[in-house]
Amino acid sequence: MSKKEEVLRKPDWLKIKLNTNESYTGLKKLMREKNLHTVCEEARCPNIHECWAVRRTATFMILGDTCTRACRFCAVKTGLPTELDWQEPERVADSVQLMNLKHVVVTAVARDDLKDGGAAVFAETIRAIRRKNPFTSIEVLPSDMGGKEENLRTLMDAKPDILNHNIETVRRLTPRVRARAKYDRSLEFLRRAKEMNPSIPTKSSLMIGLGETKEEIIEVMDDLRANHVDIMTIGQYLQPTKSHLKVIKYYSPDEFNELRDIAISKGFSHCEAGPLVRSSYHADEQVNAAAKHKQLLGEQSTQEAQ
């Protein structure tokens, strides 16, 4: 075995304990009965057993299961999407009710074939969940929707509790990693969301292990904070198939801990960082942390005013 192969062998800390208890199998059955898709399955998330079997949470993926982009890190299938399913928002809302979720994440495939990028269906899904689950907090994770301000406005007018849009990788690697997406357009998307409604926390995720440097990771943190992003997640890139980008480096838990500390020092209200962390990982805890941080800042401002 070559030295390079030895270095890139998957380390012990990336081993996953499978759990297929009744919560897991029941949730999987529910998704099939409701004809719903989850990014947990489509993107082959390593945390699916923990989230489904233990935490009983899931990230719904709307607008079908076929993406118009072919990002070289993502396992979601690419092709020509099907027609819009306007009954999907109600089915998602019904499932949230059946699962009795306190926090729900709604993401979607990129729909560059649609003028609004799918914003109208996103907004209706938020409204449907609110009608049937008034005490459930809602996090949305859209694509950049073509970078059109009116599309983002449609989404923000529905008032999600958290707006999440992933930067995914560092500036230098963006053209190779993210199909059709642009680094600065993602930053602008996050900045505009905060301008439209400053009270809604914004969030972004970075995957590492694709050949970026520590300095470039810190640059991403600075860029996100400069655009008023509140929450950040950092996780290890894992190659889903042999046709996707190869892993250049596996970061250790200690390195992730250091990056989390740096992110917090930059001013993020919360940072989840670890080898198996994904954008929606422990999302329920993140929304609580953001709320506490916001309350603390409000109390500090009141004290300073006095």
40 labelled as ligand-binding? yes
Q: Which residues of 136-163 are buried (b: 16+ CB within 10 A; e: fewer)?
A: bbbbbbbbbbbbeeebbebbbebebbbb
Distance, in Å, from the CA atom of 40 to the CA atom of 219, rounded to the nearest integer, reads 29
Q: DSSP string spanning 14-36?
A: G-------HHHHHHHHHHHHTT-
Extended beta strands in 21-166, E state: 37-38, 59-62, 103-108, 137-141, 162-164
Radius of gyration of the chain (CA): 19
**The pair of three-digit structure tokens given for residue 40, joined into one six-digit string:** 């947990």
Biggest distance spanned by C-alpha atoms of the chain = 68
271 labelled as ligand-binding? no
Q: How many CB atoms lie within 10 A of CB 245?
A: 19
Contacts of 179 (CB under 8 A, 6+ apart): 69, 70, 71, 72
Altogether, the residues listed in the chain come to a count of: 306
45 labelled as ligand-binding? yes
**The pair of three-digit structure tokens given for residue 248, joined into one six-digit string:** 């250049």
205 labelled as ligand-binding? no
φ, ψ (nearest 5 deg) of residue 168 = 70, -55
Q: How many CB atoms lie within 10 A of CB 284?
A: 17
Annotated binding site for [4Fe-4S] cluster: 40, 45, 51, 67, 71, 74, 280
Annotated binding site: 40, 45, 51, 67, 71, 74, 280
